[in-house]
Chain A
Amino acid sequence: MKKSLARRIGLPPVLRNASLLIGAALTLTIVGLAVFAPLVATHDLTQMDMTNRFSGPSAAHLLGTDNFGRDLWSRLVYGARISLSISLIAVTASALIGTVVGLVAGYFGGWVDMVLMRITDIFLGFPPLVLVLAIVAVMGPGLFNVALSLVVVSWTEYARVVRSTTLSLRERNYVQAAQALGASSPRILFREILPNSLGPITVLASLGLGTAIIWESALSFLGFGLPPPAPTWGWSLSYGTRFIRDEPWMSIISGAAIMVTVLGFNLLGDGLRDVLDPRRLTRGKG
């Protein structure tokens, strides 16, 4: 029987346990690099050297230099701080908003559910890129504003998933019992239902961290990212991509940094999915 449970899990055995481990290891490494950026960075972030652009990896520059001759490794570890902050803010806020909306809609049902789900529909109906670009154009391209624009397009996912888990939990015995005992709605929501929804939320959040990083880079590519000299990964990749024909290093290295980080979050998310509850998380349908 144990085996059949294992088989239901989304990843091959080689990776099943490994997925969580590798994901956690990658994530920890990157978070570590970001936290200790001042220690691991080898060069001044803004020190330009126009005679030494695109140098490629060397003893002096671990990952080579960028289009201004700045040390790419140092910029990437500091860039990790920005990317991770944006993802963290965006994911936390989306999860909070989405969870509250989902809980309330699922628990109270009726017209409350109706209204909240119609609002959710409005946000889902937008092409996300248009919404993100418009918000950044209105608010200006700061770290917080970029994160906020991502919240606007990603909270709906949490709302829908939490709503559907709430709907099913509401019918369970222990919730009905609590209701019968006269427990208040907030108490039931936060004591009984929320803890049981945490699994899917955590999984969504870890996958969302990766998505937010990709969004940030796309915004920079379109010119809507953080202003220079912020060492964002998006800038490195989008500058690098402009020079890809002649100087592929910068693009490949910054692209790889993004890819590895997102991969780390995704593996972590998959691993968590297995651990927390392999069956529950189907993509919620409103």
Chain B
Amino acid sequence: MAAYIIRRLLLFVPMALGIVTVTFGLLLLIPGDPAAVLLGQEATPEGIASLRRALGLDDPWYLRLGGYIANLLQGDMGRSIFQNAPVSEIILGRLGATVELAVVALLMSVALGVFLGVVAAIRQGGVIDAAAMLFAQLGISMPVYWLALLLMLAFAVQLGWLPAIGRGEPLVEAFGLALIGNPAPLWESLTHIALPALSLALNSAAVISRLVRTSMLEVLNEDFIRTARAKGIRSRAVVWKHGLRNALLPVLSVIGLRFGALLGGAILTETIFAWPGLGQLTISAISQRDLPLIQGIVLTFAMIYALITLTVDLLYAAVDPRIRLK
């Protein structure tokens, strides 16, 4: 087990090197000069040349890539050109918001997905089943930015129920405050996260609901459920206690993949809802050609992705003894 984990973690090294190199190559080819963007439209050619020298942008590419990797091996992701602060600091300051959004969206999509899937499976063939599955299909068919703007328009602007943009206190802190008798920040945080999380969650909820429905139907058909039913155990108990537990197994692996998808999808959602996370940072870093920051963000996403897949594989092995880790 420990050997497996170490082996998997070691595999991340070539992956990270590959990702750094590919990103670096793309950034070399991409038109647009960070020094000129930094200095703005009124910059003089001499000013731009001077800043390029100062930033080391004129060094040959192999020196720059080599230097970057050497620093990276010492745990240094470099400094952001535009924010003039260490990349790792900037990313850490943003990571929490994105993870919070993705986790809440994941919980929402699992709750909604499992509920829809189970209901559809129980009422298999009925109108409810069809409606739930149609809803799921629509969830996958909508461009996420369109959905986000529609939700904002409906719930924030027209109805005025929820704030349109921004983030409250970090949820964990707000929860702590609520425990010591101050629930206002928690309410603030929840209302702020509702819309971005919902628009992010619908797509995953759709995927999960279809999967839950399928595996639920399989399980409901198996012998032990039939036996339980025959024994006269109340139908609802059978469904929730025996059926769901077994049906959730395959959902587990998908949840891991969905979390990755949610992190990726957050790029658009965060931009629209002004959610101060990594996604928003990604767009602005690209639009400024802030090379070290883009590198850092891409690497961070890759690390999260690797950790998620590892966690999912471990969990899967823990839950289902038939799978051996090799």
| A–B contact at 8 Å CB threshold (below) | yes
Binding site for B on A (CB under 8 A): 4, 7-8, 10-15, 118-119, 121-122, 124-131, 133-135, 137-138, 210, 214, 217-218, 221-222, 237, 241, 244-245, 251, 255, 258-260, 262-263, 266-267, 282-283, 285
Do residues B301 and A10 form an inter-chain contact, with CB atoms below 8 A? no
In the complex, 12 of the A-B residue pairs with CB atoms within 8 angstroms, ordered by the A residue number, are A11-B133, A12-B133, A118-B18, A119-B18, A127-B267, A128-B264, A218-B145, A222-B268, A222-B283, A244-B149, A259-B142, A285-B253
Q: Does B217 lie within 8 Å of A267, measured CB to CB?
A: no
Q: How far is the CA of A32 from the CA of B107 in the complex (A)?
A: 41
Determine which of B18, B294, B297 lies in contact with A122 in the assembled complex, contact meaning CB atoms within 8 Å.
B18
Q: Which residues of B contact A (CB under 8 A)?
A: 11, 14-16, 18-19, 22-23, 26-27, 29-32, 120, 124-127, 129-130, 133-134, 137-138, 140-146, 149-150, 153, 157, 210, 213-214, 217-218, 221, 250, 253-254, 257, 263-264, 267-268, 282-283, 286, 294, 297-298, 301-302, 305-306, 313
Q: How far is the CB of B202 from chain A (nearest CB, A)?
A: 13
Q: Is there contact, CB below 8 Å, between A241 and B149?
A: yes
In the bound complex, residues from chain B placing their C-beta under 8 Å from that of A8 are 214, 217-218, 221
Tell me the number of A-to-B contacts counted with CB atoms below 8 Å: 144
- Nearest residue in B to A251 (C-beta to C-beta)? B146
B124-A127 in contact (CB<8A)? no
CB distance from B214 to the nearest CB of A (A): 5
User: A121-B11, A127-B298, A130-B297 are known contacts. Are A12 and B124 too (CB-CB below 8 A)?
Assistant: yes
- A259 to B206 Cα, complex, angstroms: 14
- Contact A134-B286, Cβ < 8 Å, known A8-B218, A125-B19, A129-B268: yes
Q: Are the CB atoms of A122 and B301 closer together than 8 Å?
A: no
Contact B143 A217 (CB under 8 A): yes
Compute how far the CA of A57 lies from the CA of B213 in the bound complex, rounded to whole angstroms: 39
Given A262-B141, A267-B137, the answer on whether A218 and B268 have CB atoms closer than 8 Å is yes
Closest Cβ–Cβ distance, residue A258 to chain B (whole Å):
6
Closest 8 A/B residue pairs (Cβ)? A125-B302, A122-B18, A12-B129, A262-B141, A134-B26, A127-B301, A263-B141, A138-B29
**Which of B146, B253, B286 is A283 in contact with, Cβ under 8 Å?**
B253
Taking CB atoms, residues of chain A closer than 8 Å to B263 are 127
Q: Please report the C-alpha to C-alpha distance between residue A134 and residue B287 in the assembled complex, in whole angstroms.
A: 10
Docked pose: A104 CA to B5 CA in angstroms: 27
Contact A262 B19 (CB under 8 A): no
Residues of B within 8 A of A214 (CB): 141, 143-144
A204 to chain B, nearest CB (A): 14
CB distance from A183 to the nearest CB of B (A): 29
Q: Assess the A262–B250 pair: CB atoms within 8 A.
A: no
By a CB distance below 8 angstroms, the chain B residues around A237 are 143, 146
Which of the listed residues A4, A124, A125, A217 has the most CB atoms from chain B within 10 Å of its own CB?
Answer: A125
User: What are the residues of chain B within 8 A of A118 when measuring CB–CB?
Assistant: 11, 14-15, 18
CA–CA, A13 to B124, complex, Å? Answer: 8
Q: Give the Cβ gap from B13 to chain A, nearest Cβ, in Å.
A: 10
A134 touching B30, Cβ below 8 Å: yes
A241 with B213: in contact, given A7-B221, A137-B30, A263-B141 (CB under 8 Å)?
no
CA gap between A210 and B124 in the complex, in Å: 27
Contact of B15 among A121, A128, A241 (CB under 8 A): A121
A14's partner among B129, B142, B283, B313 (CB-CB below 8 A) is: B129
| Among B125, B254, B264, contact of A13 (Cβ-Cβ < 8 Å) | B125
Q: Which residues on B sit within 8 Å (CB–CB) of A245?
A: 153, 157
Please give, as numbers and ranges, the residues of chain A lying within 8 Å of B19 by CB-CB distance.
Answer: 122, 125-126
Q: Which residues of B contact A11 (CB under 8 A)?
A: 133
